[in-house]
Amino acid sequence: MRSIEELKVTGSLLNKTAVSFFWYDSVHYLSTDFLRSSVIRGSPCSVQVIYNFIILKYMYVYRRQVAIEKGIATLLALALVLWVTGTHMFMKAEAANLTYIKDTLSNSAPSEASNHTIQFLSPTGVTTTQSIVITFPNGFNLSTSTVAFDDIDLAEGGVDETLVAAGATVAQWNVAIAGQTLTFTSGGASAIIAPNATVTIEIGTNATFGTTGNAQLTNPSATTSYEFTATAGTADSGQFRVAIVDDVLVTANIDTTLTFTVTGVTSGATVNTSTTTTAAVTTSDTLPFGTLAANVSKTLAQDLAVTTNARNGFVVTVEQSQQLQSSTGADIDGFVNGNWTTTPTAWSAPTNNIANENTWGHWGLTSEDFVTGRTSEFSANTWVAASTTPIIIMGHTGPSDGATAGEGLTRIGYQAQIATLQEAGDDYNTSLTYIATATF
């Protein structure tokens, strides 16, 4: 084939030709401008020859380009089909990181016993006969502790697995401790961890499946963070840390408080379900029985309130300074019939025995607080004698607000009754002393 230099064309023909071509298998460019301005040596050649020649070359290159494009399209289509149909399953499996991995301690103080709750998510899971391995850092006493398989729980997705010390069946896991390593080994097809399942390992007294654990691990003595290593199956692994820190000592002072008030009660009020209502108005420091008539009992009352922040509560006692006595020497004796009873007893009238002046009149007291700490507690409409010995009439075992009945608020009743033989006198009197004692 002749080169371009051997082609000769006339300018008249080129002027009528408005085409330009790119020669694909060379770096030469043939244009109408080139042909118009050049005199090519050799035998003449018509534009038709050049046109035919270049068209043939172009068609060859075009066919070759179409073939290449078809090949690329075929490869792309095949790659897409393989990806959709899952050919990627034949790729080699690679190791994955355990995720959401943590260890929660029940006590993070140095050298203290603590439970461990280890959790993680295994992307690949654990299949038959594979293992879960937790490696504890030095400082934790796994290798020397008394922790055994019955102090350990393993759960998948919140469902506990069955653990044994050795000889696991297809639905069990062997548990082994060697040095600082804790290993769970699947016994068979029913002892597996599914991919992306949450694994929970409990070590200590928090392990309650089957048998409750009774041994714990002891923390290191140094205050710093410690790295653990965990592996699940043959593909998944990860690291996690716990921090051992000193306990924080918090101190505070709270002032003690104790407020005790005595309040009078109006007439016509009830006391501890007594059938006799109060006969007169009392104040915080007076109990005016007035004139007592034979065979008619009279009742008076006072309200007591205690407010305190005492940790162990309080008690209130009452005692009289002397018998309820006249300046003549006559007295109204203690309930019942001068027997000075300390066991709460239902009210009864004096027996008025001419041979025993103690039976001519008596008086006593009651409390609406039925839990006072007494040996014998008060109950509805029961009474004891007033005495020169302190008598417990109110109490509580903790702080009180002075407003809650039975825990800081109560009503105390006093009742007197005489018979026809009780000596006359217009100045019977005694003094009562209340004492509130708080135990902080």
Are residues 265 and 395 in contact, defined by beta-carbon separation less than 8 angstroms? Answer: no
Question: What is residue 96's predicted lDDT score, i.e. its pLDDT?
Answer: 78
Buried b (16+ CB within 10 A) or exposed e, 126-161: bbeebbbbbbbeebbbbeebebebbbbbbbbeeeeb
Quote the CA–CA distance of 320 and 384 in Å, as a whole number: 13
Report the DSSP beta bridge partners of residue 155. Answer: 160, 200
131 φ/ψ angles, rounded to the nearest 5 degrees: -130, 160
> What distance, in Å, lies between the first and last C-alpha atoms of the chain?
122
Tokens of 100: 């959401």
Q: Which amino acid is at 197?
A: A
Per-residue pLDDT of the chain in tens (440 residues, 90 and over written 9): 434 333 333 333 333 333 333 333 333 333 444 334 333 333 444 444 444 444 444 444 444 554 555 656 565 556 554 454 444 433 344 557 999 999 999 999 999 999 999 999 999 999 999 999 999 999 999 999 999 999 999 999 999 999 999 999 999 999 999 999 999 999 999 999 999 999 999 999 999 999 999 999 999 999 999 999 999 999 899 999 999 999 998 999 999 999 999 999 999 999 999 999 999 999 999 999 999 999 999 999 999 999 999 999 999 999 999 999 999 999 999 999 999 999 999 999 999 999 999 999 999 999 999 999 999 999 999 999 999 999 999 999 999 999 999 999 999 999 999 999 999 999 999 999 999 999 99
Say which CATH class 96-243 falls into. Answer: mainly beta
Three-class DSSP category at 219? coil
The four Cα atoms 97, 98, 99, 105 give a dihedral, to 10 degrees, of: -140
Quote the CA–CA distance of 383 and 272 in Å, as a whole number: 10
The three-point CA angle 178-179-184 to 5° equals 35
- Secondary structure letter of residue 66 according to DSSP: H
Three-class DSSP category at 284? coil
- β-pairing verdict for 29-30 and 21-22: antiparallel
Q: What is the pTM for the complete model shown? A: 0.57
Quote the CA–CA distance of 235 and 123 in Å, as a whole number: 9
The residue whose two tokens read 């990806």 is 83
82 φ/ψ angles, rounded to the nearest 5 degrees: -65, -40
Domain ranges of the chain: 4-84, 96-243, 258-438
